[in-house]
Homo-oligomer: A and B are copies of this chain.
Amino acid sequence: MSSVIEQLTESFRRFPGIGPRQAKRFVYYLLRSHNGDLEALARQILDLKKSVNQCLECRRFSPKESGQTLCRICRDPNRDHSLLMLVEKDIDLENVERSGTFGGYYFVLGGLIPVLDKNPEQSVHARELLDLIKKRLASGLQEIIVGVSANLEGDNTIEFIKNLLASSFQLSENELKISALGRGLSTGTELEYSDPDTLKNALKHRE
Contact = CB atoms under 8 A, between A and B. Distances in A.
Contact of A61 (B31, B49, B102): B31
Label chain A's interface by main secondary structure: helix
A122 interface: no
B7 A16 contact: no
Contacts of A206: 145, 179-182
Given A15-B26, A101-B203, A183-B185, A52 B192 contact: no
Interface of A: 3-5, 7-8, 11, 15-17, 22, 24-32, 35, 37-49, 51-52, 54, 61-63, 87-92, 95-96, 98-102, 110, 145, 147-151, 179-207
Nearest to A145: B206
Nearest to A191: B92
A22 to B, nearest CB: 6
Candidate in A47, A88, A89, A199 with the most chain B CB atoms within 10 angstroms: A199
A29 B15 contact: yes
